[in-house]
Structure 1
Amino acid sequence: MSEQLSIVVTGGAGYLGSILVPALLARGHKVTVVETFMFREAGLFDVCAEPNFNVIRGDARDEALMTRITAGADLVIPLAALVGAPLCDRDRIGAVTTNRDAVLMLTRILSPEQRMIIPNTNSGYGIGKPGIACTEDTPLNPISLYGRAKVEAELAVLERKNSISLRLATVFGMAPRMRVDLLVNDFVHRAVTDRAVVLFEADFMRNYIHIRDVTRAFLHAVDNFNTMRGSPYNVGLSDANLSKRQLCALIQKQVPGFVYLEAPVGEDPDKRDYIVSNARIEATGFKPVHSLESGITELVKGYTILRNSRYANV
């Protein structure tokens, strides 16, 4: 095992944190989570018995709180964010203050020796060129407020050198704090519960990555920090640069009654249409282990358990 680190994770009870935090603890690290629990997340119940786990109910934008909590940290992982363009458009002030300003604050209060690993979004690439994969050197062109805030935060973090940014593809898979609204998760949920989905912008391309492979990428960055620091890394499945239509075809193979129809209505607020190269992180020795097909299988099982019927009579 690598050296034991003192790690602060903001937003550690969320979709990614609910898997990453237990994984960090399993490696023997000391982990302090700062979380508002605004969605009443309960995904960290299982680690409360861990002596190396500490949790603080607080806001990642609180400078006095974060200065105190990060004072002895070796590594800070700021996961706290309003994730996705629709949520950011609903709370534009919260999006800027959480997704950008809270991260900029960390670049001010952390010492140069303290490490940072941040998640960014592939939606920062905006609209790509047909047939040309976006690399980490491709100019960023975020369309939405969500994309812009995340890109501005990444630029500031990478300027401090002792940091790594992981530009995540569209994430999928089951987690203790579930997100049903992410594209793959949403389409499989509709396939299992409604047996149908209406597609808009069906030819728009995206890259995808399993939530557990995202956790593995963070652990890989922790273990290889000295050789990876100072750079951004795309994190996705290199064999899963697919259009929405191709994704639906994969789902249909596992949910035979699933029907997908195309309609000239609706649009993605991020205008995400690109293919991505993950060669840089693969060159460091990282390879995903969860395929898109296995993730669909997992989600079908998960939605057999989960029914979004809290306010329905049947």
Structure 2
Amino acid sequence: MSSIDTNKTKENESVSKVLVTGGAGYIGCHLIRILLERGCKVRVLDSFLFDQHSLDNLKDNPNLEIMVGDIRHMEELASSLEGVSSVIHLAGIVGDPACNLEKQVTLSINYEATRLLVDLCKYNNIKRLVFASTCSVYGARGEEILTEESPISPISLYAETKIRSEEILLKAANENSLEPVIVRFATVYGLSRRMRFDLVLNILTAKAVHEKKIRIYGGVQWRPLIHAKDAAAALMLCLEASGDVVCGEIFNAGSNQENYRIKDLEKIFVKLFPRINIEHVPPMNDERSYNVSFDKITSVLGFTPQETAKRGVKELKDSLLKGNFADYLADKYYNVKYLYK
């Protein structure tokens, strides 16, 4: 993952005890391991809808505290902030299909709980609050190269809740010493202890392994990609950086070299699966397309992702061929299927 100064965390008081909401999730379980490796004391607040399996081998770590709770409940959220110096906010309903199941529930979790968290952070004099957002806030933008200064144009409820949450955080910058930082992730992929197959690169790889064929829907739409491990590393850098550098800032997290048209992913699969059958079909009801610049996070924080889409597909292919995730269509690997239950 991205290079991180191992001495910074020990020297930086703001990261000595960290609350991670949603710490058992797809990115969170990578992040928890980085924090513990850096010697941080970590508290996880998670509702564990997908059980605690992703943190099983960490439960005996004396620097890890696990709290089962709901970020919408003031008492539980307030309790989780006791003695904490910084927060990384990952908890939420992720993805367009899952968010569309129940609009009011999505708003309460993805937006109203964020507002509550910001208020409680200010009340408790929390110094750093890092918020996980998404590049899908840019919407359907064609060939335009998008920076953090580009106009936002959400076309989904998921993106709308992220934008509304971002607005709350930016307004709170420097209130009661709070230093909010926003990280807009590229489309995430790769192995995780809380595995997901409702992500484009992951599901294509699973189908390539098990069905020997994949479908490319449309193909001209742009998607920037980032491995879950690199996403966690980006969060860590935002946590460690000086407040003068990151307070009130937005960072797109990804790599300029990992912006792909969906059809260009075909080259990766042809190379790794020489006998694969690729079917091209009309696009589904997903207009999102965003070609994103990641110059800012590279120049300001020195972020350089260590993984590539090709290596990520190879890694996942090898895992699947070893018999892992044999039932890759199981509900637990798909946010919308599991929540619908």
Q: TM-score, normalised by structure 2?
A: 0.87
The one of 276, 282, 285 aligned to 1:258:
276
Of residues 39-48 and 117-126 in structure 1, the stretch that sits farther from structure 2 once superposed is: 39-48
2:3 match: none
1:141 match: 153
2:129 match: 116
The question of 1:280 aligning with 2:299 is answered: no
1:94 match: 105
Offset at residue 114 of structure 1 (A):
2.5
The question of 1:248 aligning with 2:263 is answered: no
Work out the CA distance in 2 between the residues paired with 1:230 and 1:246: 35
Q: Which amino acid aligns with 1:307?
A: A
1:157 match: 169
User: Which protein is richer in helix relative to its size?
Assistant: 2
The one of 235, 246, 257 aligned to 1:239:
257
Work out the CA distance in 1 between the residues paired with 2:28 and 2:100: 23
The question of 1:197 aligning with 2:209 is answered: no
Which whole-Å deviations, capped at 9, do the CAs of 1:106-149 have from their partners, x for residues lacking one? 1111125531001101100001142x210000011110001101
1:274 counterpart SS class = strand
Work out the CA distance in 1 between the residues paired with 2:329 and 2:31: 28
Matches within 5 A, 1:18-167: 18-111=29-122, 113-130=126-143, 132-161=144-173, 162-167=179-184
Work out the CA distance in 2 between the residues paired with 1:11 and 1:193: 31
Task: Tell me if the contact between 2:69 and 2:77 (Cα under 8 Å) persists in the aligned partners.
Answer: no
1:165 counterpart SS class = strand
Task: Tell me if the contact between 1:204 and 1:273 (Cα under 8 Å) persists in the aligned partners.
Answer: yes
Q: Which runs of 5+ in 2 are unaligned?
A: 1-6, 174-178, 331-341
Work out the CA distance in 1 between the residues paired with 2:318 and 2:104: 37
2:325 match: 306
Q: Which runs of 5+ in 1 are unaligned?
A: none
Q: Which amino acid aligns with 1:59?
A: D
Offset at residue 244 of structure 1 (A):
1.1
Instruction: Report the RMSD for the aligned CA atoms in angstroms.
Output: 1.5
Structure of greater relative contact order (alpha carbons < 8 Å, 6+ residues apart): 2
Offset at residue 293 of structure 1 (A):
1.2
Q: Which amino acid aligns with 1:119?
A: A
Work out the CA distance in 2 between the residues paired with 1:135 and 1:12: 28
Of residues 106-115 and 138-147 in structure 1, the stretch that sits farther from structure 2 once superposed is: 106-115
Report the count of equivalent residues: 308
Q: 1:30 to 1:283 in 2, by over 3 A?
A: same
Work out the CA distance in 2 between the residues paired with 1:31 and 1:309: 31
Task: Tell me if the contact between 2:87 and 2:128 (Cα under 8 Å) persists in the aligned partners.
Answer: yes
1:148 counterpart SS class = helix
Task: Tell me if the contact between 1:205 and 1:241 (Cα under 8 Å) persists in the aligned partners.
Answer: yes
Q: 1:258 to 1:17 in 2, by over 3 A?
A: same
Task: Tell me if the contact between 2:134 and 2:159 (Cα under 8 Å) persists in the aligned partners.
Answer: yes
Q: Which amino acid aligns with 1:282?
A: T
Work out the CA distance in 1 between the residues paired with 2:190 and 2:81: 31
Work out the CA distance in 2 between the residues paired with 1:310 and 1:228: 40
1:203 counterpart SS class = coil
Offset at residue 197 of structure 1 (A):
2.1
Q: 1:134 to 1:298 in 2, by over 3 A?
A: same
Q: TM-score, normalised by structure 1?
A: 0.94
Task: Tell me if the contact between 2:67 and 2:80 (Cα under 8 Å) persists in the aligned partners.
Answer: no
Which whole-Å deviations, capped at 9, do the CAs of 1:233-263 have from their partners, x for residues lacking one? 0011211211111112212210112222112
Q: 1:106 to 1:44 in 2, by over 3 A?
A: same
Work out the CA distance in 1 between the residues paired with 2:151 and 2:54: 37
Offset at residue 41 of structure 1 (A):
3.8
Work out the CA distance in 2 between the residues paired with 1:33 and 1:113: 16
Task: Tell me if the contact between 2:221 and 2:290 (Cα under 8 Å) persists in the aligned partners.
Answer: yes
Counting aligned pairs with the same residue, the percent is 29
